[in-house]
Homo-oligomer: A and B are copies of this chain.
Amino acid sequence: MPAHKKKLSEKIDLGGGHRMTPQRQVVYDVLMSSRDHPTATEVFIRVQEKMSSISLATVYNCLDTLAVAGIVKQVNLDREPSRYCGNLAPHAHFHCETCATVMDIDLKDGVEPSSSVKLPRGAKIQKVEVEVRGKCPECVRTEKKKDTL
């Protein structure tokens, strides 16, 4: 189709002949309005409030399509269920072992995340993931409060 015949559209292009369907849009919207890192099932529950007929399989399909299209990120921490995240900026994740929250943590400007390791000579690096586990500030505070009681 010649370029001058293309219809204007506000819809996000997913590439590869993929369409921005109502289901994908709702899944996308839910993710973009989430600051936590919901699992597929959690996304499903939130999506159902807006579109009760959607199935879990479709949510999985949508999340996968959006992730492959590169407009959301799939986050895997250990062998827990995959979580999804609309924050496309490079960042790391903090996982609280007490309250199970996953939060984004920013990278320090100008410091490559790979700078702490001896990369194999000749390897082609595609991505570097940094995952921090521990106790989040809130849980540390809560625990200290208990101690002084």
Cα-based distance from A68 to B125 in the complex (angstroms): 32
Residue A36 interfacial (CB < 8 Å): no
Task: For the complex, count residues of A whose C-beta is within 8 A of B.
Answer: 42
Of B115, B123, B141, which contacts A136 at CB under 8 A? B123
- Is there an interface contact between B115 and A108, defined as CB atoms closer than 8 Å? yes
Contacting chain B: which of A2-10, A57-65, A126-134?
A: A126-134
Residue A82 interfacial (CB < 8 Å): yes
Residue A16 interfacial (CB < 8 Å): no
List residues of chain B with CB within 8 A of the CB of A107: 116-118
Residue A55 interfacial (CB < 8 Å): no
Chain B nearest CB from A75 CB (Å) reads 10
List residues of chain B with CB within 8 A of the CB of A132: 114, 117, 119, 123, 125, 127-129
Residue A92 interfacial (CB < 8 Å): yes
Considering the complex, give the chain B residue whose CB is closest to the CB of A113: B116
Residue in A94, A112, A116, A127 with the greatest tally of chain B CB atoms within 10 Å: A116
List residues of chain B with CB within 8 A of the CB of A120: 94, 103, 105, 136-137
